[in-house]
C-alpha cells in the first residue's frame, strides 16, 4: 500500500512539474505563432484557432509553436519550355503571396507548414506553361504587351482555381513573368530579321521621299515655264531674270555692307556692252 501511494505521489509530482515549467516563445514582427497542443496523458490536442501575435508567449512544454510569416513572400520558378512554334524559351516566373493575418492556424491545420509546395507549386507551374505555350516565339520575345497578358491570365487562374477553390487563407499579391529569352542562335536570327525589316522600311520611306521630291521639282518646272511664257521671255532671258531675283533676295537678307558682282550673259535682257563712242 505504501509503495502504491509513493508511485501515485511520483506521478502527481511529475505532472505538477511539467505543467508549471512553462516555456516562453518570442514571435517576431510580421509573423504569427500557431500553437499546436500535444498533451502527455489525456485530453485532446490540436491547433489553437487563435494565433500568437508579436511578442513573448508563455506556452506549456507540451505545446509546439509553428512560426508563420504573414508578410508577402516571393516564390520563384524557373522554366525551360517551348513556344507554340516548338521553339525553346527560358524564363523565370514569380508568385508573390502572403498568409492572411489571423488565419494562420486554419492554414496550418488544413495544409501544413509547406502549403505552397504541397498545394500550389505544381498547379502554378502548369498554369504558366499552358499560357506561355499559346504564343509564338517572336511575340514572346519582342512584344512588351505579351508579358502583361501572361501575368493577368496566370493571376486569374491562381486566384480562381487554387485560392478560391481550395479556400486557402492566402492573399495573392501578384504574378510576375520575367524576361523570356530564346537560345542564342534564335536571338541572332531574330536580330537579323528585325534589322532586315527596319532596312526595308527605311528604303520604302526613302523611295517615297524621292518620288515626292521629283514630283515637286516637276511641278516647279511647269510653274516656271508658265511664268516665263506669260512674260514673253526666251529661256536665256528667263534664266537672267531668275538670277537677278535671287541676287535681290541675297541683298535683302544680307548685312549692311555687301558687294555683289553680277556677271550677265550677252543675250536676252542683258545690258548692252558699253560703247567706246560718245
Each domain of the chain, given as residue ranges in start order, spans 9-69, 73-182, 201-250
Report the pLDDT averaged over residues 115-144: 93
| Strand pairing report for 31-37 and 63-69 | antiparallel
Determine the pLDDT at residue 78: 95
- Do residues 96 and 176 make contact, with C-beta atoms less than 8 angstroms apart? yes
Give residue-wise pLDDT tens across range 210-233: 888 878 878 877 887 787 778 777
- What average pLDDT is seen over the chain? 80
Return the residue matching grid coordinates 492572411: 100
> Lowest-confidence range among 185-194, 200-209, 233-242?
185-194
Residue 71 buriedness (CB in 10 A; 0-12 / 13-18 / 19+): exposed
Determine the pLDDT at residue 20: 41
Return the residue matching grid coordinates 505545446: 63
159 or 276: which leads in pLDDT:
159
Residue 148: which pLDDT band, with cuts at 50, 70 and 90? very high
CATH class of 73-182: alpha beta
Question: Which residue in 239, 218, 238 sits closest to 229, CA to CA?
Answer: 238
Q: State the chain's maximal CA–CA distance in angstroms.
A: 170
> Which three three-digit cell numbers place residue 238?
528667263
Please state the pTM of the whole predicted model: 0.58
Amino acid at each position: 500500500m505504501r509503495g502504491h501511494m509513493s508511485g501515485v505521489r511520483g506521478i502527481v509530482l511529475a505532472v505538477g512539474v511539467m505543467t508549471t515549467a512553462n516555456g516562453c516563445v518570442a514571435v517576431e514582427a510580421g509573423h504569427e505563432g500557431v500553437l499546436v497542443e500535444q498533451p502527455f496523458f489525456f485530453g485532446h490536442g490540436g491547433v489553437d484557432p487563435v494565433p500568437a501575435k508579436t511578442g513573448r508567449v508563455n506556452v506549456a512544454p507540451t505545446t509546439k509553436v509553428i512560426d508563420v510569416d504573414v508578410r508577402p513572400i516571393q516564390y520563384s520558378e524557373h522554366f525551360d519550355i517551348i513556344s507554340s512554334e516548338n521553339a525553346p524559351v527560358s524564363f523565370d516566373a514569380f508568385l508573390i503571396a502572403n498568409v492572411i493575418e489571423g488565419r494562420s492556424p486554419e492554414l496550418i491545420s488544413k495544409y501544413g507548414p509547406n502549403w505552397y509546395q504541397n498545394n500550389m507549386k505544381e498547379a502554378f507551374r502548369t498554369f504558366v506553361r499552358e499560357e506561355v505555350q499559346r504564343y509564338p516565339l517572336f511575340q514572346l520575345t519582342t512584344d512588351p504587351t505579351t508579358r502583361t497578358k501572361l501575368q493577368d491570365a496566370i493571376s486569374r487562374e491562381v486566384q480562381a482555381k487554387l485560392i478560391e477553390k481550395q479556400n486557402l487563407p492566402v492573399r495573392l499579391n501578384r504574378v510576375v513573368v520575367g524576361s523570356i529569352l530564346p537560345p542564342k542562335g534564335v536571338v541572332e536570327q531574330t536580330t537579323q530579321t528585325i534589322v532586315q525589316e527596319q532596312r526595308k522600311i527605311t528604303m520604302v520611306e526613302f523611295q517615297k521621299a524621292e518620288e515626292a521630291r521629283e514630283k515637286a521639282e516637276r511641278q516647279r518646272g511647269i510653274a516656271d515655264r508658265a511664268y516665263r511664257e506669260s512674260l514673253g521671255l526666251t529661256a536665256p532671258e528667263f534664266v537672267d531674270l531668275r538670277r537677278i531675283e535671287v541676287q535681290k533676295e541675297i541683298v535683302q537678307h544680307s548685312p549692311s555692307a555687301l558687294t555683289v558682282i553680277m556677271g550677265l550673259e550677252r543675250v536676252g535682257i542683258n545690258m548692252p556692252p558699253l560703247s567706246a563712242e560718245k
